[in-house]
Structure formats: C-alpha cells, structure tokens
Amino acid sequence: MQAVTGKQAAGIGAAVGVAVALVAGSVLLGKGPARIAAKDLRDETVVAQLQNSAKPYPAELQAMLRATRANPDDLLAAKAAASALIAEGRAAGDSRLVGAASGVLQPFMKTPDVETLNLVATVRQYQHDFNGALRLLDQSIQREPGNATALLDRATIQIVLGRFDLALQDCQSLSQLARPDIGFLCQSTALLLTKNASIVRDRLQRILETPGLLDPSLTGWATGLLGEIAKLQGDIPQAKARFVEVIKADPLALRERLLLADLLLDEKSGRAVLTLLSEAPDVDGVLIRRVLAARLIGDESLARKDTTELERRFRLNLDLGLTAHAREEARYFLEIAGNPQLALARAEVNWKLQHEFEDAQLLIDCAVAAGDPSKAVPVLLWINEQSVEVASLRIPDAVRKAAQ
C-alpha cells in the first residue's frame, strides 16, 4: 500500500483504488486517530492509505477536491466534493471510498444544514454505522419534515435493520409528498420478506407494463425488486431474467450482479460467474464469489490469488476490531476458509448490525455448521416480530428445536 500526502489527496496525479480510507472505515481528512481539517493540510501530510491502482480519480472530482483545499470554508464546494465522492464510491461499490466525503464535510458539522446532515448520514450508512446515520436523519427530518431524501434514506436503513414496521411509516410519508411512485417502491422494498410480497410483485409488473406510471429513472429499482421477489419465492428463471435486465440497463448495478452470481453459483456455473464479475470492482463480495467460481472450474491460481487478498483484508479487520464487513467475513470463513466457529462469530456480529435475508440465512448456516443451532434462534424471534414469510429461507429442524 502507498501513503497518500495532502498534495496528492488534492487530486494532483493521485492513483487510487477502490479503498480510499485508512484500511476499513477511517475517512480521508476525517475519522481516524486524529482528524485533519482541510485547512490544516500540508503537502507532506499522510491522510490515507490507498491500494495501488491504475485508475485515478475522475478529473472533475480532482478539481472539486482542489477547490475544497483552496477554500476550506466554502460549504457549497465541500458539499459538491462530498456528493461526487459518494457517487464515485457507489460506482466502485466500496463504502470506504464513500467515507472520504465525511472528512470533507467534518468542519461544517458543528452547525450543519439539512443537506450536510443528509450527506454525512449517507456516509455513515455505507460504513454500517446505521444508528449514527439514523440520528442525523432524525435531525434532518425534524428540521424539514417534507425532506424526501431523508425520509427515503431513513426508510432504507430501517429495512436493512429489519424494522419493516418503522420503514413503512416513512414510505407512507413519501407517498403523501406528491411522489407516490417513490413511496410505492419504498413500501414494496419494505414488504419483500412478508406475506404481501406476491401482491407487491403483481402490482410492480402492472406498473412496469403500463407506460407513464413510473418515472424512467425508477425502472431499475422496480425491476430489481421483481428479481428479488422471484428469488425469494424460488422462481429462479424469472429472478435471473430480471437481474440480467437491470444489469443491461445499468452495468454499475452491483447488487443485482452479485445476486445473479449467487444464483449461478447454486447452479455450479463457475465460468458464467467469472464472466459476469469480470468488470466488477474488486470489493469483498466480488472476490468471494470469484473464489467460489474459480474452485468450481478448477482454476486454483485465481482462487489462491483472491483468497490471499481476502485473508489479508479480513485478518486486518479482525485485528483492528472493525465490523462493517462482518457479513462478507462470515461467508468467507464458512465457505472458503473452512472455519465454522469463526464464521459463526462474525455472523453474530453481522446480525447485530443488520437484518436482511442474506444475514438471516448466513447466521442460520453458520450456527448449524458450527454445531450450535441455538445461536440462530434470534433469527426466528425476528421472523415472529416482523411477520417474515420467505419460502426460500432454509431453517433446519435443529434450529427450530433449539427455539422451543
């Protein structure tokens, strides 16, 4: 890894990879052992450690970062740079790149405006600091109750946390703000894991088939939801078709690409997975699926290369006590490293952070593999509390007996 100085961080010839923070979560100019304000930067100051990469920041983003360094008290410039960093991080699929935006905005957090609160909340969401993000969004919505961005972000976080009842409240508020399309898609997302998923599927199909009912910019969201419902209901051909549709329209749609890769892995289609992920960023989820695909086709060289990188990342996370990538760590230790005990420990950490379908299945699988099915009982409690009904969720008898 290379050290990046203040001069380079301003955008002068800096080569960056998909990790733009102190290893996993600390933020450029922000979170870390000592925060550094933009006005205090010197050309020799090390502000972050970057993975080597041939891909530089886009020129426009470099210019924005130079502007924030030249004018550290310019809130508009800081928000523009932060927004660009978040967009670039989303495109790369890496929360650590998104995290760089927090440092840019840090000097303005003493008296933040609504937009600044929303941007920093987005950063914290990507860093899996969901409670921190919710606190900021609560402040934003209290100041501006009709802030659709904050309402949607808060609903999204509640969905990730498995609090569908709370998410639906914000979705309803969105529907009342003259954006019934966004409100409906928000509600649809919150109902994916409930008995109402079939109703949502039928309505989504009708909306997509009727011109003018949905803003074209929302088509990918609606199509991806149909794919997820099909996957959860066991309709694999339909799920694959919908995910392919999303990816064709948006090659940067990483979630659908990873979901499709999992379906292909279930079919033992290793070569198809490697082709699908060939242009994807080297984030943890991509590397895990590449290792599993490489093993399927007997490509030990690729499997060994990616396994080595994953082991380096995850051991470092464990040494530093970081938790944002616990889901990927649990899957790695379960399916690749063959360490079910450590996999269960990371799955339990992950379950404290988020409650999505993948998290529920992962905790169940790890608990059973580790010979301690009682550790999966929290999933059953959550299922009862939130009325979760998912046909494809595998719950072995051993877990059900442990809950009795």
190-199 per-position pLDDT tens digit: 999 999 999 9
pLDDT at 239 over 80: yes
- What is the structure's pLDDT at 31? 30
The residues, any chain, with a CB within 8 Å of residue 76's CB and separated by 6 or more, are none
17 HSE (CA, 13 A, CB side): 16
Pairing of strands 46-50, 2-5: antiparallel
Is the pLDDT assigned to residue 179 strictly greater than 80?
yes
CA angle, 355 then 361 then 362, to 5°: 85
φ/ψ of 250, rounded to 5, equals: -140, 95
- Closest Cα partner for 228 from 239, 213, 212? 239
- Residue 144: Cβ-neighbour burial (10 angstroms; 0-12, 13-18, 19+): middle
Q: Kindly tell me if the per-residue pLDDT of 178 is higher than 80.
A: no
List of residues 6+ apart from 398 with CB closer than 8 A = 368, 373
State the pTM of this model. Answer: 0.82
**Mean pLDDT for the chain overall:** 86
Q: What is the per-residue pLDDT for 93?
A: 65
What integer is the mean pLDDT of 320-327?
Answer: 94
In angstroms, what CA-CA distances link 325 with 3, 20, 62, 78? 23, 16, 28, 28
> Could you give the CA distance from residue 192 to residue 389 in angstroms, rounded to a whole number?
9
pLDDT of residue 40: 42
Percent of the chain beyond pLDDT 90? 75
d(CA 365, CA 395): 9
Let me know: does 164 contact 386? Beta carbons within 8 Å.
yes
Least reliable range by pLDDT among 29-33, 150-154, 169-173, 376-380 = 29-33
In this prediction, residue 119 carries a pLDDT of 96
Q: How many helices (H) and strands (E) does the chain have?
A: 21, 2
Q: What does the block give as tokens for 113?
A: 């405006």
Q: Is the pLDDT assigned to residue 34 strictly greater than 70? A: no
Per-residue pLDDT band at 95 (split at 50, 70, 90): low
Given pLDDT bands bounded at 50, 70 and 90, which one contains residue 105?
very high
d(CA 85, CA 97): 7
- 128 in Cβ contact with 324 (< 8 Å): yes
Whether residue 173 has pLDDT greater than 50: yes
Cα Dmax for the chain: 63
